Amino acid sequence: MVASAQQMLDELRESITGLDDLKTMSKFLLYGVSGVGKTVEAQELAQMTTPPEKRILYVDTGEGWVSLKNHPQLMRRTQRMTYKNLAQIEFLVEMIKAGVTDFDDYGTIIFDEFSTSAKQFLHLVLDANEVKQMTEAPEFKHWGILSRNIERTLWKLLELKETHNLIFIAHERIAKNKQGIEQQAPSFMDSIAGSVKENMHVVGRMTAEVTNREGAPQYVRKLQVHPTKLVVAKSRIGGLDIQVSPDTFNKRVKLWLDQGGSLVDEATPVELEDEKVVDKSLVDQDVSFTGFNVDESE
């Protein structure tokens, strides 16, 4: 159905707002390997940033919610929606925008994991094209279908960026940058990785180290929010070191939002000391590593 001139005029008026009326809403991407605490951190951010009268919608592509069982305080006012397909997400956005009952009081949406939804859709594309996944490699057209649809879904979710907090969770992968350096990066194909990153206030890589300093294993979690030579990251929030604890990050985010969400320029990638360390077995191969430190440990 073709929209009438009056409908187009009404939509045009609705799209125009005063700058003083805009409120900063957070758009974060947390990535890392399984088990480092991404889901827990996402829920902590959601509980902290969601207005008290609003609810949190947790879109789950698997069973990520299980990691919250040990944190009942993070499960309050949260509803879980089982992810089914991309069309479901696009329809969800339409229902939220229309203010439909049961969808009109969400303040934050967590997508756990956005990268998994991309992989699931790729399998649908391959099945529809009768590609034998074990014996045949996907063709360019298959990746094209995938990237177009995932990007379209991302843009649909971003239609809520001025009214809702959006938190995306992803796995990580090793990807080569334009200089040919292998980096830890969110697990998205190159064709959509740029779109995801540029629309986020923060792209943070979570890690967890196990220590036994007090007799029992303890996790020391870190969040890298500025880019370095070997890690993809981004922060438009000022006052943060390259690597911070989740608690430090959360407090800074709270302050950032309370102050109106003023943005800062992205940091230039730097090289950390541990990114100059080379395994001794590589040095023994008569390869030159000028300026690098050698790891002598077994």
Position 151 scores a pLDDT of 76
pLDDT average, residue stretch 150-167: 87
Across the chain, mean pLDDT equals 80
Sign of CA dihedral 208, 210, 211, 217: positive
pLDDT average, residue stretch 232-248: 93
Task: Retrieve residue 267's tokens.
Answer: 């940091």
pLDDT average, residue stretch 99-121: 81
Q: 69-90 as b/e, with b when 16 or more CB fall inside 10 Å?
A: eeeeebbebbebeebeebeebb
Distance (Å, rounded) from C-alpha 126 to C-alpha 279? 40
Tell which CATH classification among 3.40.50.20, 1.10.1740.10, 3.40.50.300, 1.10.510.10 matches the domain 23-267: 3.40.50.300
Position 70 scores a pLDDT of 74
Distance (Å, rounded) from C-alpha 32 to C-alpha 284? 31
Task: Retrieve residue 49's tokens.
Answer: 């940033």
Parallel, antiparallel or unpaired: strands 234-235 and 202-211: antiparallel
Backbone angles phi, psi at 254, to 5 degrees: -60, -45
Q: What is the pLDDT of residues 48-93, one digit of tens each?
A: 999 999 999 999 887 655 666 777 777 889 999 888 888 888 999 9
Distance (Å, rounded) from C-alpha 32 to C-alpha 295? 24
Name residues whose C-beta falls within 8 Å of residue 18's C-beta, 6 or more positions apart in sequence: none
Asked if 110 and 167 count as a contact pair (C-beta separation under 8 A), the reply is yes
Q: 276-291 as b/e, with b when 16 or more CB fall inside 10 Å?
A: eeeeeeeeeeeeeeee
Q: What is the pLDDT of residues 279-294, one digit of tens each?
A: 666 555 555 544 555 5
Backbone angles phi, psi at 81, to 5 degrees: -115, 120
The residue ranges of every structural domain in the chain are: 23-267
pLDDT at 139 over 90: no
Q: What is the pLDDT of residues 168-218, one digit of tens each?
A: 998 898 888 777 788 899 887 776 778 888 889 999 999 998 777 666 777
Task: Retrieve residue 244's tokens.
Answer: 């911070």
Position 87 scores a pLDDT of 85
pLDDT at 124 over 80: no
